[in-house]
């Protein structure tokens, strides 16, 4: 997902008013650096983003607000512990999520025991 500068500005506007807020910015995953002005060749590393993801978790656990920039397909906080977990969740309001599969099963009356 591409980041939206307005979302970042809104986040900072909300949280920088609190003098006690601790904010950290983490960049994670591989990088690509062009070798030429008109890019044809790159130097690239293929980091999975494990260190960045774990660092974000530790900062969150210690009360920090985390801005986490990552490369596509790199690990995100907590995702290395639960592969594909976030692919099975969908937002259901502020700070709430539902399971996509569970919702589909309920909708089709295939899982009435999931009440």
In this prediction, residue 28 carries a pLDDT of 92
Place of tokens 């969740």: 89
Nearest to 28 by CA among 47, 45, 42: 47
Please report, for the chain, the start and end positions of each structural domain, with discontinuous segments joined by +. Answer: 5-80, 84-115
In this prediction, residue 16 carries a pLDDT of 87
In this prediction, residue 50 carries a pLDDT of 92
pLDDT tens by residue, the chain, 115 residues: 567 888 889 888 988 888 899 999 999 998 888 898 888 888 988 888 999 999 999 999 999 999 999 888 888 888 777 766 667 777 777 778 777 665 444 544 444 444 3
DSSP letter string over 18-47? STT--EEEEEES--EEESSSS-S-EEE---
In this prediction, residue 113 carries a pLDDT of 43
């Amino acid at each position: 997902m591409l980041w939206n500068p307005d979302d970042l500005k809104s986040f900072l506007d909300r949280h920088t008013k609190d003098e006690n807020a601790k904010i950290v910015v983490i960049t994670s995953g591989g990088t690509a650096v062009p070798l030429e002005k008109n890019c044809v060749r790159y130097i690239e590393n293929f980091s999975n983003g494990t260190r960045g993801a774990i660092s974000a978790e530790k900062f969150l656990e210690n009360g920090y607000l985390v801005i986490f920039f990552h490369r596509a397909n790199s690990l995100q906080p907590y995702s290395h512990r639960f592969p594909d977990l976030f692919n099975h969740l969908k937002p259901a309001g502020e700070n709430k999520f539902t399971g996509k599969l569970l919702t589909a099963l309920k909708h089709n009356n295939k899982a009435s025991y999931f009440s």
